[in-house]
Structures are given as structure tokens and as C-alpha cells.
Amino acid sequence: MDKAKGKGQQTKKEEVLKTGVSGFDDLFAKKGIPKGSSVLVAGGPGTGKSIFCRQICYNVVSKGKRCMYVSFEESKERIEKSMKSFGWDVTKYIENGTFLIQKINPLDILRMKFGSLGGSGSATDISYKIKPLVIPRDFHPDVIAVDSLSAIIDASVSKDRNYRIYLQQLFSFFEETGATSFLITETDPMPIRYSDTGIEEFLADGIVVLYNIQKEDVRENAIEVLKMRYGEHEKKMVLMKITEKGLNVFPQKRVFV
Amino acid sequence: MDKAKGKGQQTKKEEVLKTGVSGFDDLFAKKGIPKGSSVLVAGGPGTGKSIFCRQICYNVVSKGKRCMYVSFEESKERIEKSMKSFGWDVTKYIENGTFLIQKINPLDILRMKFGSLGGSGSATDISYKIKPLVIPRDFHPDVIAVDSLSAIIDASVSKDRNYRIYLQQLFSFFEETGATSFLITETDPMPIRYSDTGIEEFLADGIVVLYNIQKEDVRENAIEVLKMRYGEHEKKMVLMKITEKGLNVFPQKRVFV
Amino acid sequence: MDKAKGKGQQTKKEEVLKTGVSGFDDLFAKKGIPKGSSVLVAGGPGTGKSIFCRQICYNVVSKGKRCMYVSFEESKERIEKSMKSFGWDVTKYIENGTFLIQKINPLDILRMKFGSLGGSGSATDISYKIKPLVIPRDFHPDVIAVDSLSAIIDASVSKDRNYRIYLQQLFSFFEETGATSFLITETDPMPIRYSDTGIEEFLADGIVVLYNIQKEDVRENAIEVLKMRYGEHEKKMVLMKITEKGLNVFPQKRVFV
Amino acid sequence: MDKAKGKGQQTKKEEVLKTGVSGFDDLFAKKGIPKGSSVLVAGGPGTGKSIFCRQICYNVVSKGKRCMYVSFEESKERIEKSMKSFGWDVTKYIENGTFLIQKINPLDILRMKFGSLGGSGSATDISYKIKPLVIPRDFHPDVIAVDSLSAIIDASVSKDRNYRIYLQQLFSFFEETGATSFLITETDPMPIRYSDTGIEEFLADGIVVLYNIQKEDVRENAIEVLKMRYGEHEKKMVLMKITEKGLNVFPQKRVFV
Amino acid sequence: MDKAKGKGQQTKKEEVLKTGVSGFDDLFAKKGIPKGSSVLVAGGPGTGKSIFCRQICYNVVSKGKRCMYVSFEESKERIEKSMKSFGWDVTKYIENGTFLIQKINPLDILRMKFGSLGGSGSATDISYKIKPLVIPRDFHPDVIAVDSLSAIIDASVSKDRNYRIYLQQLFSFFEETGATSFLITETDPMPIRYSDTGIEEFLADGIVVLYNIQKEDVRENAIEVLKMRYGEHEKKMVLMKITEKGLNVFPQKRVFV
Amino acid sequence: MDKAKGKGQQTKKEEVLKTGVSGFDDLFAKKGIPKGSSVLVAGGPGTGKSIFCRQICYNVVSKGKRCMYVSFEESKERIEKSMKSFGWDVTKYIENGTFLIQKINPLDILRMKFGSLGGSGSATDISYKIKPLVIPRDFHPDVIAVDSLSAIIDASVSKDRNYRIYLQQLFSFFEETGATSFLITETDPMPIRYSDTGIEEFLADGIVVLYNIQKEDVRENAIEVLKMRYGEHEKKMVLMKITEKGLNVFPQKRVFV
């Protein structure tokens, strides 16, 4: 990073979301993620994607902001219990209505009218807006975490020629909420694509990749900001540890593949 | 593993399942697998997946717990005989009703109504619960071993856009039993995916990978805990031997790929 | 480059478009891109494709020329704001009508009659001209930037046997505008194909590839002119930096893969 | 192999089939293959798969046992002649009825009702047993060799979702005969999958892999026991020579890939 | 090349076409390409395929022979202009009728009756001859260049089981013209297949491969004669430069991959 | 090769076909190919497959035997001329009826009833014999060369589940002629599969692979006998040169890949 950034860093500091994940915000020149961005959180199994999102949610709501966590696979109870096991007691925020955990039955996605997009292509059928989530009318989240975008896409996107349009509508939805959104996508352990269709990575504003790197017989966790629109960032893969208290990112510790 | 784990290890010890497989439980900070987890047991041919599950079953039932072993390919008689050949005399547990071996004819899975999930996608068709197994009404197993999940999936999942939903329902089923479940999945010898569709590895709580590593002209067995939700674990591949008495895991012996 | 070029460089200088991207024009013997060329701007996520095109647009309009920027994903407002964040104040050019930002709803592409091309193949159906964009009648752009060509192709090209013809018509359209066109295509991070179908790279007059190269744990940006009809160019990959002021290309700094 | 095997080796010796292939039986702790096993004989072209099976057949029938050799491609006459060319005079065993060579016209497999398995999936259609071979009523073979399983599968298995069930039925058939079966499967020269569908290798009790290894400009034959249920075995690839008298396995000679 | 060739080289010299591309003809024992051959000109984007063909055309017509250049993508005007930019003034040959540039609208190929070949396979439908080009009745070209064969194949060949037959008819057409034909095919940058379907390379009499080789951060152009029926040739990849005056081949300068 | 072969070599010498290709027969213990074998001649473009077959044909007919050469792509006239260019004057053998060149129009294969094999699978439809060639009633060839088997397969085999059966019938046809058959198959330059479907290599009695090996910037031709049923052979890749007089094989000259 060059020195000219020091100045911008101060004047624009308020425009970024501080995740509060130890060490992570330091990967950005402005010490956070540009607010309103849609960020893919990409990684293989066991890389800490869910922990990353939950840690952000806890940090955000404990500062008095609003957060919505959408899960397709784990129940509200398991998520709450899991967060507590890291010492993140979210019960009060759930009770005071600033932290909203939503378990969506994937069957409900099927029931929505996504199917018509993949159909004959007649324009009238696809002029409505897509709503993958229902956000309560008076709830304006600062952060939305979706665990996982892969689940939405698998459930609703038929792999025909219109799925890019569907994806664009999906990202437009998140953009229009005004929230910074973290969208988990499932990849191979050492990904060269960062999403299910290979298109999300171009539509999203940012990509954070979580690695589980095999080095001889040992594995190390690492994290990298691969892309962030409107936000200058470190261009390297750094060490991350998954501990009993959540994730620790070590911006100065290099990880070699 | 950092030192902070020592404390948690004592207070939470009762929440984990001890597999009793020599050396294996030592791979976890809490010396066992979080109870109620769904664990993929992934590996290529000849890596000891079935032995691993049967050894756990024997250890569990010999401590007075209940266990259910579901097979799609081997008969009850062969499984019992195979276990005895390792010195695991399960006859008394079968007779006293604490060890239940169930041979499921894969044709029976076809007869169930899974097919409708892959159909038109009309919501009403898919609102019922999926039951891949029938657990006797009064039998509450502590451990369920499925040999193999691949067999269930091959028999019931058509590879269309709804199969993730089917898989989610399948994992929900195992979660709701309350048992710790071990689900064998068949992979390439040196897998980079750990399941049939590439999705199970994200849905499961844990992944244990069994390797049969070719080093020049010799092969070595190895085991690795790749992922375990709610359970801190060693992040390395360690030596495993298949002996006449079952599996031995050597947490201190490294295996290089 | 051999010395004979010095002379041609002066007599033909006026036939090239100077992009104004620092260092980039020096990659060409004639210090710019042959006017009227169609140029693929290919790269993976986070390689600076959009910044490259926007920087060219700003440089072009600030010299009194006309430019049209077509976006399928980002709104006019975001694009304008993004350009300003680099210090490129395009508001006056938007207002005086020399810079035209067009947000196209991908649904609108579906509504056009592209579908008939993929159909029965009867000749009468496909004798009309394809118009992926509507250029205002009196607006004669010097530069057209399309962000992205991938979006047009995903929305309109069914992958059947006629798509090459569709693509040819598409490139004819850009050629007939007389403008130099920059067409963003999305690729793998280290591409061996430079476009969605593998055909665009043969139809386009030029290919500029943007790289995000992983070297151990660090990433470096690089740029390369892979092909340019009628325009002799450096045949190497050189360093590029993404800064707060836009892209800097370093024609003398080599980048090793 | 650890020392504890010595004892088991003596008490259980009678439960294994001795193949009589020079050096091969020494790869097993119990000096032979567990009786009743289904064994894949996997290898690329020219690796000696047919010779291996025929050599076992000769050794078995010359000890007074019964053997059935099923061929889909070579005629009875060619097989008999081929065996004699190795010095294995099977004529007397054919005549006294202990060696049965069966040439099956692959068209006959098509004529069987396998097709219905791949159909609508209605349960009643698939409740009968599959009989890929017709074993004469009073003939109880100790060994069955199938040259090749690939031929059965190619002829009868449509690659739809039910083919695992078909394969399970096929392996059940071989298991129920009580014979030790050797099932040739055709693979790539250096296989990472050991069968046509990738499933047979999990269903079979054992896998013997035959290699034709290219080392610079020379090729060497090698053999490896990759898997054997209920039978401890060497875990390495050893030298094998194809001679005028059949195969010779050298358990002490290592082969490097 | 062995010494015996010296003699044949003189007696048969008149049977070869001299391309006139500097250094290229020296790659052949007989200093040219056997007349009447069909030659694939294969290469990735930016390797100089079109320049190669145009340079041959200019050299041929400037010696008083006839040449036909067929383009599917560039207009007559652009091709003429492009050739002039290399100093190849073909205007007089166009005017005197010895150089014929034909721009074929790919839609016209669709209009021909190729479709019926891919149809029901009834023999009567496919008994007519295929004419991908219309050669004027009194024009007997010595050389035909097709830019590109890929365009013909993409437009007319459905990838069903009959396409080899279609391709054979296509090559028969070129053979029957009596001309030496140069057929551009588009490949990957470092091809292991040299044509669209992988069959053209076996049907063609010759294959000339153009390379754009990445060596660390630099690219070099190279050329190789991979195959030439009835024409002994150098079996190596040699340096080629793309200059303002066209291609220069350096038969003595080796290029390492 | 071990020493025991010396004896067998003398007693069985008359059972092999001597190809007469310089050096090639020395690759076999018995100095030739077992008569009646079906031999794949596999290789990429420009490896000398056609020359190899034509050289054998000339050698065979010049010794007074009968030979049939079947071509799908080159005309009788071109084949005869090509052979003469190597100094193999086959005109007298064509005239005396011992050398038969047959040009088959691939359309004729389509006209045959192969299609029904790929159909409904009803047994009655497929009970007739397949005749890919028509051999004149009184012509009993010692050698049949097919240029190419790939052409037969592409024209007649739909890639559905029955194609193995079709291929078996095809090989049965060649076996029943009694001739030694050489069947050209087209592969990648450095093949790991030796035929179009991957099955021919298991059905054929022998495989001869022709290589065109790229070593840095140079290419070398090489030949290898990969498989030969009933015929012990060298197991290595040896140098081959394509000269004006045909192929020369150098059994003692090693070629490193």
C-alpha cells in the first residue's frame, strides 16, 4: 500500500464497516469494508466461513447496530448455541430485536416464483423483482449474513441461459437493502473459482477467501481479500487461526501455498 | 492447539462421544466428537471406512449404549462375522437389543416417495419429511452408522436442481434423532471432494477423511479430521494402521503426501 | 520491437486511440490502439477490468471526445460515484452530453428477438441485424465500453450451434459504430481462454489481459496485450498497480508467473 | 505386516483360496484370498488380466476343484488354445466337467430384462433377482472368472440413477454362488478409478490392480492388492513378469512409479 | 533430414507450391508444400494465422497465379487495407481478376442444406455434394485460403454422429478444386488438438501450427510443420517474427517450450 | 525377454506374420505378429499410421500373398500414387488381383442398418451379423488394413449403451475373416487412450502405438508394441524414422519421453 492512503483513510473512515474480527480490518487501507458492499465469503469445508459471519454479527450488534443472519441449514437454536460457545452472548440482542436470526426452509424458496425465470423467456414473466428473503418492514439491518448463498442458488437457479439475470436480480436485492451483506459460498479447498456458477464473483463487490491449506501433513487456515470494489486492500494471503474465542487474523504472518 | 483449551476440555468433557478407536479421540481438544454431530467418514476403496464405523459401534455398545448400524450392501450375518474376526463379539449386544444391524434393500429406497422431490417443484409435493431409515419406535440410538450414505444418495437423489434440498432434509433427519451419526461416503483415493455431490461436506457437522497414500511403491493408511463444528481438533494427517484388532491411530506420527 | 517502427509511428500516430492509462499506450509501437478496433478486456475477479475501462472513458471525454459506457450490473449513480472516488469528475461531461452512461436491464436483452437465432435455423428469421445496444441517433461515440460482454452473452446466447453467427453479428455491430470498443470479459484468474465461448477472442481485433498473479502468498497485478490486429505491440506481461488514482502500467517492470 | 499375524495364519489357512499364481499368494497374511470373495481384477490394456484369471482357473481345476470361466469376447476355442500355449492343458478338465468355459453373446444380455431397472423406478418392476450368468444346476464352482465385468456393465447398465442398485444386485449374485469370483474391469493404464462406474470398487470385497508402468522408454508390469475385506495383505506394488509360462509375481521386488 | 533427399528435391521441385513466406519453404525437403494439399493453419489468438495466409496469397498472385481468399468475419475492404498495411498492394490483382476476396455471410451457410446431414440419417438425403464455397465457373485458383474453417464448422456442423462424414465431404470439396488450400483453425494457445472437432487434423494433408509461447513474462512466436502428407519436412518448432512487412520464419532458430 | 524364448521362436515361427517393416518384427520374440490378430495402429496426426499399413501391404503382396486396403478418405488413385512415391510399385499386384484397394464412401456405412443397434434394444433387431466391409467372395486376404477404424466408428456408432456390443461384432467380423488386420485409430499425440471409445483397445488382440514426441523444440517419431495377445514382445518405446523409402524402426535406439 502506498503512502498516499494515509489521508484518505481519515477522511473516509466513517464510510466503512468495521467487522471487529481481530486483525481482519487491518487488511484494508480504510480499516474496514465499504458500507453497502456485497461480499462473498468463499471457502471449502471447515474453513470457518460461518464463524467469520457470526463473529461479525456479534461485533456489529454489540455496538448497537442491527444485523440479520439467514440460515438454510442450521436452526436458530443451534446458531445461538454455537455463538455462545465462542463467548458471544447474543440472547439479549435477539430479545431486544437488534439481532434477527432467520431459518429459511429451502422448500420455501422452491415455492416462490423463481421457476418462471428459467422458462420461455417471455419478458412479461420476468419483470417482477426477486425477493430471496423477507426482511421485516421496520427492520433496517446494517449487516446481512446469508449462510449460504450456495443454498439459495442450488434451490432456485436452474442452470439454463437465464441464470445470470437471476443472479443479477439477487445482488440487486442485497444492494437495495442498503446493508453490507456477507454471502457464504462453498468452494473447493483451494479454489480457483469462488462461487457456484463462476458469475457471483464478478457480480459481488468483494470476495473474502478462507483457506484450509495442506502443507505436507499439516493444515493451516488462511484468509485473503481477493477483491473489494471501492476499497484498497492488502493483496496477500495471511494466517488465520480458529480458536475457542473465534477467528484471529494475523495480517503480518505470511502463509505459503 | 493453544493452551487455553485445557480448561474447556474438563468442563465440557461430558458433551463428547468417545469413539474408543485407539488414538483417534486424542485428535480432539475435548477428546471426542461433539454429541449429536453428523460426521462424514470419507475415503477411497480399502481405506478402512467400514472398520472405523464398526469399531466405534462395538466400543459404544460394550459401554452399555445403544447403536444402530445400517448397511445397504453387506448382510447382517457378514457384518457380525466381520466384527467377530476383529475380536469384537457383538452377539450378546444384538441379542440384548442394544446393537441393531439393519440391512436395507436399496430397492426399498426406490419404493419410497423420494422421486417426487425431483419433479415439478410444486411445493405441496415436498412438504413431508424424508425418512431414509426406519428406527424402531422405542430404540433411541446413541450412535448411528450408515454404510453408506453414497448408497442412499445414488439410490434416491436424481441430480437435478432440488437435490440440495433433499440432502438438507436427509441431514435434518439424522440431526433430529439426537444420535451421533457416522455416514460413510466413497471418494477418490486422494480426495479433493469428500462426498458424492460436493454438498454433503458442507451440510455435515464433521468430516473424517481416511487415506490410502501411495508413496513410491508402498501404501500407508492415514486419517485426518478435516472439519468438526463445535469441536476444536488437530489439523493434520496422521498415521493409521489397519490390524487384526481394528484400527490404530497414531496422533504423533506424521504422514507426508 | 525493431527500429523500422520509429518512422511509421510518426506518420500514423493519428490513427490510434490514446487511452491515457499511464504507461499502457507505450506497449504499442504506435503508442495507442488502432482506432475502430474491438478490444476484449479479459481478466478474473478483482483484476481491475472496470477501472481500466472507466479510466479510458475519463481520459477520452476530458479531451473533448465522446464516450459511451454500458453497464449491466452497476447503476449510473454507482459508476459515477466510483469514478469520482478515483478523482475522475465526469459530472460535467455527463451534463454536457459527451459522456453517456447507460444502465441496461438485462431483462431487456431477453425481450429482444435474439431467441429466434437459436431456433429452427430458417434463414428468414435471422436476416435482420442484431442491436445489443441502442445508441442515440445523434451520438457518435469515439469509445464504447461494455461492462460486460459476458453479461450480453450469458443473457442472449444459447449455447447451440448458431452462437458463432450471433457473436459475429455482435462484433459487426461494434465495428459499424466506428468507435473503438472495450468489451469486458470474465475469465479465470490465470486464463488460457480469454472469453466466455472461446470464440470472441478470435473475432475481436485485440485482447488485453489483466492478471492477478499469486506468487507464494502475495498477489501482483499485471497486464498484457495478447493480440492487436493492425497494431504492433510488446509481447510481454508487465506490472500494473491499482491505486487510489487509477491504474498504473509499468512497461519496463517484468512480472514472472 | 506385524508379527501377530503368524498365529492367525495357521488357524485360518483353510479359509483362503490359493491362486497358485507364483508369488501372488505371498502378498496375503493368510497366503491366499478369503474364500467367497468378489475380487476386481483391474488394469489397462496389455496388463495380463486375462492371463491372471486363466492361470488361477488352471491351478484350481488341476487340484480337483471346479471352475467356470465366462467370456464375452473370445470364443471357447481361443481361450482353450491360449491356455494351452502357456502349458496349461485344460482339455481333460473341460472333458471331465470340472472346467466350464462359457461364451456369452453380449446380445443375450440385452435380451434379458435389465432394461426395466433403468425405467420409471416403480418398485414392482425391480423386485426380481438379476442373473447375469446361467450356472448349470448341478455345477457348484469354487471359482468364477468373468472376462469382463466391463462387458456386462456396458451391455446392461444405463447410466441413470438406478445403476448402483443394479450393481449391488450383480454383486449379490456372485456372493450367493458361494464361489470366489474374479471380475475383470478395464481401466486406464495408471488408474485412479478401478472400475467402469467407480462404484464396483466399493462393492467388491477385493481389488487386485495390474499395472503396465512406463518408465522413461521402458514398460514394466506390476501388481498390487489394493483392498481385500477380511484378508490382511501387503500394501505395496510389486514386480510382475508376463512369461511364456504365465505370470510371475515377485513380492520382494519393488516397482517405483 | 537424410541426404537421399537431395536428388528428389530437384526432380520433384515443380510439384510443390512455394509460399514465399520468408524462411518457411526451407522447412520442407522439397522447398514447398505439395501442390493440391489441404493444409490446416492452426493457432491461438494473435499467432498470425491470417497474416500467414494473406502473405501467401500476395506472393502467389504477384507471380501471376490465381488465388481466392474467403473470409467469414472481415470485410473485403478491411482485408485489402490490412494487406496494404504490410506493403502487399493487391489492388491490381483484385482488378485484373487473379485475386478474389470473398466475404461470406455466415448466415448463408445456415441457409444451405447442411442441416439435413444431421438429421434422420436416411441415405437419400445425403447423397448430394457439399459446397461450402461458390467458386466462379471460370476461376481456377492455385491457392484457396479460408479464414476460418472454424467458422464453417461452427455454422454448419451439428455435433452429432454424422459430422465426420460432413467433414470428409468438406475436405473432398477442397481436394477436387485442385488448389492448394490453407484452412485456418482456431486452437488453444499451446494446442494439443489442432482443430475444432479433433478430426480435421486427420483429414487434412498437412498441419502448420503457429505458437505464441509464454516464457516467464515474455511471449515468442513460433511455427512448426506438424504433418505434411507426401512432403518430408523439418520436425521442429522454429522462431517466427511478426513484423511490419509480414512474417519471418527462422528455420535455424530454435524455440524452447 | 528371457532366454527360454529361443526355442519357442523356432518351432512357432511359421505362425506369425512378418510385416517386413525394417526393424519392427524384431520387437517380437517370434519375429512377427501372431497370424489372425486384430491390431490397432494408434497414433496422433503425422505419426505415420497410413505409411505403416501401406508398407506392410506392399511387403505382403510382394511375397505373393493377398492384401486388402480399405480407405474411407483417400481415393484409390492417391493411395496408389502415395505408395509409388515410397518406391512401392503396387500396380502389378492391383492388376493381378492380389492387392485390393477399396475406397468406401462413408455414406454407405450410414445406409447400412447399423442404426437399429442403437435403438430400442429389442433383441430381434440385433441378431444379424455386422458387415463393415464387403470382401469379394473368392478373395481371401492374408492382411486387411483399415484406414481408419475411427471413420467406421464415427459413422456408425452412436454413443449409447449398446456400442460395446457393436464393437464386439465389428472385431468378430475381422476375426472371422482369418486375416491379420491392421486398424488405424486416431489418438492424441501422446495418448493415454488408444482408441475412440476406449473399448477397442481391450477388444483388439494387439496395439501398436506410433508417437510424435516433442522434446524441447524438436519432434522424434517412435513406435511401441503396447499389447499383443499370444505374442511376447519388447516392452519399450523405440526410435522410428519416416524416410522417403518408408518407415525404419530401430529396436535398439531408446526414445525418452
pLDDT digits (tens, 9 = 90+) for B48-71: 999 999 999 999 999 999 999 999
Indicate the length of chain E as a whole number. 257
Tens-digit pLDDT profile for residues E40-72: 999 999 999 999 999 999 999 999 999 999 999
Angle at which helix F163-177 crosses helix D149-156, to 10 degrees, equals 120
Cell output for D175: 456372493
* Contact between C168 and E220 using a beta-carbon 8 Å cutoff: no
Q: Is the pLDDT score of E22 beyond 60?
A: yes
Please judge whether B164 and A157 are an interchain contact, meaning their C-beta atoms are less than 8 angstroms apart.
Answer: no
Cell 441464470 belongs to residue: A163
pLDDT at res. C113: 43
Q: Is B82 close to D238, i.e. CB distance below 8 A?
A: no
Residue A54: band (very low, low, confident or very high) from pLDDT cuts 50, 70, 90: very high
Mean pLDDT of all residues belonging to chain F:
85
Rg (CA), chain E: 18
Q: Do chains A and E touch (3 or more CB pairs under 8 A)?
A: no
pLDDT number for residue B129: 60
Residue B122 has pLDDT above 80, yes or no: no
Give contacts of F229 with chain D, Cβ < 8 Å: 82
Residues of C in contact with E84 (CB under 8 A): none
Q: Which of E46, E148, E220 sits opposite C207 (nearest CB)?
A: E46
| Number of other residues whose CB lies within 10 A of the CB of residue D73 | 21
* Pairwise CB contact (< 8 Å): A45 & B257: no
Residue D220 identity: E
- Say if CB F143 and CB F17 are below 8 A apart: yes
Could you give phi then psi for residue A140, rounded to 5 degrees? Answer: -110, 90
Q: Are F157 and E161 a contacting pair at CB < 8 A? A: yes
Span of C104-113, C174-183, E25-34, F73-82 with lowest mean pLDDT = C104-113
Residues C81-88, mean pLDDT to the nearest whole number: 95
User: Which is nearest to E149 in space by CA: E174, E180, E125, E124?
Assistant: E174
Q: What percent of chain B has pLDDT over 90?
A: 61
Chains A and F touch (3+ CB pairs under 8 A): no
Chain F residues in contact with E2 by the CB 8 A cut-off are 243
Alpha-carbon gap: B209 to the closest alpha carbon of chain D (Å): 16
Q: Which chains touch A (3 or more CB pairs under 8 A)?
A: B, C
User: Would the CB atoms of F219 and E235 count as touching at under 8 Å?
Assistant: yes
pLDDT above 70 for C112: no
* DSSP state letter for A28: B
Of F204, F210, F195, the closest CA to residue F227 belongs to F204
How far is it, in rounded angstroms, from Cα C96 to Cα C33? Answer: 26
Residue D72 at interface with chain F, using a CB cutoff of 8 Å: yes
Tell me the mean pLDDT in the region D137-159: 86
- Whether the Cβ atoms of residue B148 and residue B186 lie closer than 8 Å to each other: yes
Q: Which residues have a Cβ under 8 Å from the Cβ of C111 and sit 6 or more positions away?
A: A123
Distance of CA C193 to CAs C182, C222, E77, Å? 18, 17, 29
pLDDT of residue C103: 92
Judge contact between A188 and A44, C-beta under 8 A: yes
Q: Can you say whether residue A255 is alpha, beta or left, with left for phi > 0 and alpha for psi between -120 and 50 degrees?
A: beta
Residue among D48, D19, D41, D16 nearest D29 (CA): D16
Chain D, nearest residue to F128 by Cα: D107
Q: Subunits that touch chain F (at least 3 Cβ pairs < 8 angstroms)?
A: D, E
Give the helix, strand, coil percentages of chain F, each rounded to 5.
Answer: 35, 30, 40
b/e string for C210-223 if b means 16 or more Cβ within 10 A?
Answer: bbbbbeebebbbbb
> Does D11 or F221 have the greater pLDDT score?
F221
Rounded to an integer, what distance in angstroms lies between the CA atom of residue F139 and that of residue F98? Answer: 8
Other CB atoms within 10 Å distance of the CB of residue C87: 10
Distance from CA of B128 to the nearest CA of D (A): 20
**Is residue D185 within 8 Å of residue D178, measured between CB atoms?**
no
Nearest to A107 among B165, B207, B238 (CB): B165
E strand segments, chain C? 16-17, 33-34, 38-43, 67-71, 99-103, 143-147, 180-186, 206-215, 218-228, 237-243, 246-254
Residues E71-93, mean pLDDT to the nearest whole number: 94
Which of B169, B202, B207, B225 is the best substitution to test chain A (most A C-beta atoms within 10 A)?
B202
Q: Is A144 helix (H, G, I), strand (E, B) or coil?
A: strand
- Taking the CB of residue C13, how many other CB atoms lie within 10 A of it? 12
Residue B212 Cα, gap to closest chain A Cα (Å): 14
Least confident of D237-241, E105-109, F48-52: E105-109
How much is the pTM? 0.88
C149 falls in which pLDDT band (50, 70, 90)? very high
With an 8 Å Cβ cutoff, are E2 and F73 in contact? no
Omega of the bond leading into E120 within 30 degrees of 0 (cis)? no
Pairing of strands E67-71, E99-103: parallel
Comparing alpha-carbon positions, the chain F residue that sits nearest to D187 is F198
Cα distances (Å, whole numbers) of residue F175 to B130, D73, D74, D146 = 55, 11, 10, 21
Contact: B164, A155; criterion CB under 8 Å? yes
**Which amino acid appears at position E136 of this protein?**
P
Q: Which of residues 116-155 of D touch F (CB under 8 A)?
A: 148, 150-151, 154-155
Q: Where are the alpha helices (DSSP H) in chain A?
A: 5-11, 49-61, 76-85, 91-95, 106-111, 149-156, 163-177, 200-203
Q: What is the mean pLDDT of chain D?
A: 85
Beta bridge partners of B208: B41, B225
F244 part of contact set with chain E, CB < 8 Å: yes
DSSP letter for A22, please.
Answer: B
Are F146 and F74 within 8 A, CB to CB?
no
Cβ pair C164:E158 closer than 8 A: no
- CA–CA separation, A73 and D214 (whole Å): 49
Cβ neighbours of D214 in F, within 8 Å = 237, 257
Q: Which chains are within 8 Å of D by 3+ CB pairs?
A: B, F
Contact A202 C82 (CB under 8 A): no
CA distance, residue D254 to nearest chain B CA (Å): 6
Which residues, at least 6 apart from E109, have a Cβ–Cβ distance to it below 8 Å?
E132, E152, E155, E156
Instruction: Tell me, yes or no, if A78 comes closer than 8 A to chain C by beta carbon.
Output: no
User: What is the distance between the alpha carbons of residues E148 and C207, in angstroms, rounded to a whole number?
Assistant: 19
Our CA dihedral for F151, F153, F159, F162, rounded to 10 degrees, sits at 170
Cell numbers for B67: 447403536
C-alpha distance from D225 to closest chain F C-alpha (Å): 22
- The angle at the Cα of C251, spanning C250 to C257, to the nearest 5 degrees, equals 85
Strands B143-147 and E218-228: unpaired
Distance from CA of A98 to the nearest CA of C (A): 29
Q: For chains A and B, what is the number of CB pairs under 8 angstroms?
A: 93
The rounded distance, in Å, linking the Cα atoms of B232 and B236 is: 12
Query: Is residue B117 pLDDT above 70, yes or no?
Result: no
What are the phi and psi torsion angles at E227 (to 5°)?
A: -160, 140
Q: Which DSSP category does A35 fall into?
A: T
Give the residue from chain A lying closest to C243, CA to CA: A232
Cβ distance of B217 and D207 shorter than 8 Å: no
Residues F61, C86: Cα–Cα separation, whole Å: 80
Max Cα–Cα distance, chain E, nearest Å: 56
Average pLDDT score over chain A:
85
Secondary structure (H, E, C), D3-71: CCHHHHHHHCHHHEECCCCECCHHHECCCCEECCCEEEEEECCCCCHHHHHHHHHHHHHCCCCCEEEEE
| Helix/strand/coil for A146 | strand
Give me the amino acid identity at A127. S
Q: How many other CB atoms sit within 10 Å of the CB of residue E193? A: 18
Burial grade of F120 (CB within 10 A; 0-12, 13-18, 19 or more): exposed
DSSP conformation class of F162: T
Average pLDDT for chain B: 85
**Is the model more confident about A16 or about B255?**
A16
**How far is residue C165's CA from residue D144's CA, in Å, rounded to a whole number?**
58
User: C-alpha cell of B251?
Assistant: 496422533
Chains that touch E (3 or more CB pairs under 8 A): C, F
d(CA D83, CA F191): 31
**C216: nearest CA partner in chain A:** A256
Confidence check on the interface: ipTM exceeds 0.90, yes or no: no
pLDDT for res C106: 73
Using alpha carbons, list the distances in angstroms from residue A45 to A14, A199, A201, B149, B201. 34, 21, 19, 18, 6
Whether the predicted pLDDT of E3 surpasses 50: no
Minimum mean pLDDT range among A203-207, B31-35, B126-130, F211-215: B126-130
Kindly determine whether residue B123 and residue A110, on different chains, have CB atoms separated by under 8 Å. Answer: yes
Residue with cell 505470511: A254
Q: CB of F228 within 8 A of CB of F38?
A: no
Please, what is the end-to-end C-alpha distance for chain E in angstroms? 22
The confidence band for D105, taking pLDDT boundaries of 50, 70 and 90, is: confident
Residue from F84, F217, F221, F244 whose CB has the most chain E CBs within 10 Å, to mutate: F217
Mean pLDDT across F41-46: 96
Selected residues 175-194 of chain F with any CB under 8 Å from a CB in chain E: 186, 188-189
- Tell me if chain F has a CB within 8 Å of the CB of D216: yes
Q: Do F201 and D85 touch (CB under 8 A)?
A: no
